Amino acid sequence: MNILEAILNAQGGASAREAGKTVGLSPEQVGSALSALVPALTARLHANATQPGGLEALLGALRGGGHSRYIDDTAVLGQTETMTAGNAILGHILGSKDASRAVAGQAAAQTGLSADVLKKLLPIAATLVMGSLARHQASS
């Protein structure tokens, strides 16, 4: 499963477009931003899942977190609750705000986009990653 492609193609691309619109990015810019952020997030998810108890924790979150709504309903992406959930997901995946800033900084260096904008997109990207994984897990 390619999570980035699943996110970019979800709802005919509407999820990615809405994520970009929320932080002021064009469709091309959000594609570039997600292409930098999603692999960083999935790499950390993978690293966490290989730790003792990590896979069970991830599967439990996917089953009980209602994350598929972030892929299925683009209207929720700009809501405060989504940002709060995304920041909580980032806390679990990355562990600290410093790590989140580092991911945004690395993505900024890759894309030429502002690190500040990428910091705003990061929680939304995290919800989209979890939403994509939840949708895939439910269909398996």
Q: What is the pLDDT of residue 72?
A: 87
For residues 16 and 31, is the Cβ–Cβ distance under 8 A? yes
138 φψ region: left (φ > 0), alpha (ψ -120 to 50), beta (else): alpha
Q: What is the pLDDT of residue 67?
A: 83
Window from 7-16, 49-58, 92-101, 107-116 with minimum mean pLDDT: 49-58
Could you identify the residue written with the tokens 């994509």?
A: 132
Angle (deg, nearest 10), helices 97-111 and 115-139: 100
Query: How far is residue 120 from each of residues 22, 60, 123, 138, measured CA to CA in Å?
Result: 9, 27, 7, 28
What is the C-alpha to C-alpha distance for residues 117 and 99, in angstroms, rounded to an integer?
16
The C-alpha angle 17, 19, 24, rounded to 5 degrees, equals 85
Per-residue pLDDT tens digits for 38-91: 999 999 999 988 888 888 888 888 888 788 888 888 889 889 999 999 999 999
> In the predicted model, what is the mean pLDDT of residues 95-123?
94
Model confidence band, residue 1 (pLDDT cutoffs 50, 70, 90) = low
Global confidence as pTM: 0.92
